[in-house]
Amino acid sequence: MKRFILFTLIFALVIGTFPPAASAKTPYVTVKQVALKQSASTKAKTLVTIPKGKTVTHLSDKGSWSNVQYGKQKGFVAKRDIQKQTAAPKPVTGVVPAPAFGTFSYFTYKGGDIVSMLGKTYKIDAPLLPFFKKHAHVFKTVFGIPVTDGNVITGFKAFYPNQFYPGSFTLDIDKAASERIETFVISVSSHQHPTIVINAASPVTQVTTAGTNSYSLETADLRLNGTFRQVAITGTSRLSGKATIERVVLRMGDFYPSLSSYTAQLNVNGTINHLESTFADAQVTLGRSTVVKHVTGVSPNQILDGAHGLIKGTKPSAVPVRGRWMNPTEQQMSAWLMRLTDQEVDVDTVASWLRTLKLTGVEADRLPSYKVALTKNARAYDTRVSLATAADWQRLIDDVNRALRPGPLDRPYVMTTQRSHLEDLLLRHDRSLVFYDTSKRDDYQRELIGLIDPSGQLIDVAFKRTFGNQVVRHHGAYTNGDFATEQASYQESGTYRHVSLVGSSRHHYTFDVTVNGRESRVTHVNGKALSTYKKTPPRVEVKRAGEFLLIRSSDSLWMDSVQQAVAPNATYFDPRMIATYRVPEAGAWNGSPYYVLYTSSYVPGRKLVLQAYGYDDAVITIP
């Protein structure tokens, strides 16, 4: 939803700031095979037939005819049969920058030489027409950053062909397309796991991946054939094909920067001259036929090989430009991490490793928790943090020790939902909001999130925040003041602790569980009965302003607790997150706090349920 709003807001700016038309000295090109006439008449003698796509010099206009020169011959052609030709974009030197996704324009293509953008039509420059027509079935709906001359699209700073095309396809990039399109943005994530083939007839400036799913190992197979100046990876990707690539750059993020860890597979049959990372938590694996000549890490101390190195696995025969190969101790640590990935390791073995590294602060009674933390991280994917050096291992030990120490309890965020088709109990440390105005995100920030059992040991832990692991979620039934579930994996009755470490901050709450056979029953949170967290909701005001619903209440605690909206009696549970945004149409409401919901799926007169932590549901009528 946020992406749609940002695109909508920015498209008009993009359309409204196209560069002015080129001067009259701009060369023209024939849009079809055309007869060069001796005079401005269809009955005049034909001097020569000019093939489609040939350049002519424009001299003057006479009615519906243009006086042009083709080679050494001068004559007349119909105005409609020629159009201005703009020089291809100048080659980019150095590392090719990432495209600014927020400035993309949305357009549709139905064949021919016309595209439509926000109700306006633009002609496709003749050299690009063969590329468009050949791929019309893929290009029906496209994002891009166009380069224009008047109402003619002469090229693209960035071209995103398959945002709305989830299937397999082949992209044949001819010479004109490679010269006039700086960056091809390719979506490599789809539930169909498609095969995408890119054949480059001429060197391509940049191909960058997008739409990658940080939490899924399944992805598309992107096959590159030809010569590519730069290939940028932004997440889970699998590259193959027969190609020569000057530079592969590992970046974080997608449309919006994301700190999710990832491993990309580079199985290209060919040579990569430079492999460079700009994101410390990105890795690659290399195929047997993939040759890397130079490798550049994020910092001089980044490990370039091993289990958690930039190039996962065996040290390749590449020249390090920045970063270093493992030393003997780090090679041993890498072997330990590989063992943790696919084998069960006992506590005594972990203790011997920690003694070998001479780490400080290691406590014998916490060895089970150290083992859980090392194992969980070794087997993690999108939340994995590097343990390539002894300093990394020391930080893990320090974080686990901080997590296990007792401390003051924080306010818990407790929500119970009682839909007829799904009942949930949600427990968390904070409230997650959407920020339309700042694009702020906290997903995948470095954060220890752990669950501690009644014996005081970690039973689950991650070292980056995700949408899922920041919540303790129970599916079951809220009955007689308790929440009963058969889906939780609690092994014993007692008090469990959920802890979060972000930098120097520590957040901590408890919940009590009674286990009876397959059933677990949550009875208290921070020592208080669950009924404490079901207060009567206050009066809520709602107002429609443009494409938003505005929501506010004079109860400041409820305003600090409201989380989501749910349509009652819906066929499926589809909560919409409350967002922050200052809406110009809000009028006098802009003098006080309010939240917004996008109204695209809300019908006036229908009911809407607002859910807040610590409160019963509030029901409003959509204006």
pLDDT over 60 (residue 419)? no
**Does the pLDDT of residue 254 top 90, yes or no?**
no
pLDDT of residue 570: 55
pLDDT score of 217: 53
Q: For 245-267, give one letter per residue: b (16+ CB within 10 A) or e.
A: bebbbbbbbbbeebbbbbbbbbb
User: Among the listed ranges 16-20, 268-272, 500-504, 574-578, which one has the minimum average pLDDT value?
Assistant: 16-20
Confidence of residue 120 (pLDDT cuts 50, 70, 90): confident
Q: Does domain 413-533 match CATH 1.20.120? A: no
Quickly tell me which residue has 């349509």 as its tokens.
567
CA distance 569 to 609: 10
pLDDT of residue 90 exceeding 80: no
Least confident of 237-241, 333-337, 477-481: 477-481
Question: Which pLDDT score, from 0 to 100, does residue 17 have?
Answer: 33
Mean pLDDT of 183-199: 82
For residue 14, which of 104, 100, 120 has the smallest C-alpha distance? Answer: 104
Q: Tens digit of pLDDT for each residue in 558-567?
A: 999 999 888 7
What is the mean predicted confidence (pLDDT) over 396-419?
Answer: 90
Question: What's the whole-number average pLDDT of the chain?
Answer: 86
DSSP letters of 337-367?
HHHHHHS---HHHHHHHHHHHT-SS--GGGH
Higher pLDDT: 100 or 231? It is: 231
The pLDDT confidence band at residue 602, using thresholds 50, 70 and 90, is confident
Q: What is the pLDDT of residue 216?
A: 53
- Structure confidence by residue, pLDDT tens digits, 270-302: 999 999 999 999 999 999 999 999 999 999 999
Residue 1 has pLDDT above 50, yes or no: no
Q: Under CATH, to which class is 23-84 assigned?
A: mainly beta
- What token pair was written down for 595? 């939240």
Region 392-402: what's the mean pLDDT?
Answer: 97
Share of the chain above pLDDT 90, in %: 53
CA distance 516 to 533: 24
In the chain the first and final C-alpha atoms are separated, in Å, by 21
The Cα–Cα gap between 449 and 582 comes to: 32
For 522, the token pair is 């949550």
Are 472 and 421 in contact by the 8 Å Cβ rule? The answer is: no
Rounded Cα–Cα distance for residues 35 and 316 (Å): 60
Mean pLDDT, range 8-13, rounded to an integer: 32
Identify the pLDDT of residue 191. 57
Q: What is the pLDDT of residue 221?
A: 85
* For residue 218, pLDDT beyond 80: no
The β-bridge partners of 207 are 184, 231
Question: Does 401 score more than 90 pLDDT?
Answer: yes
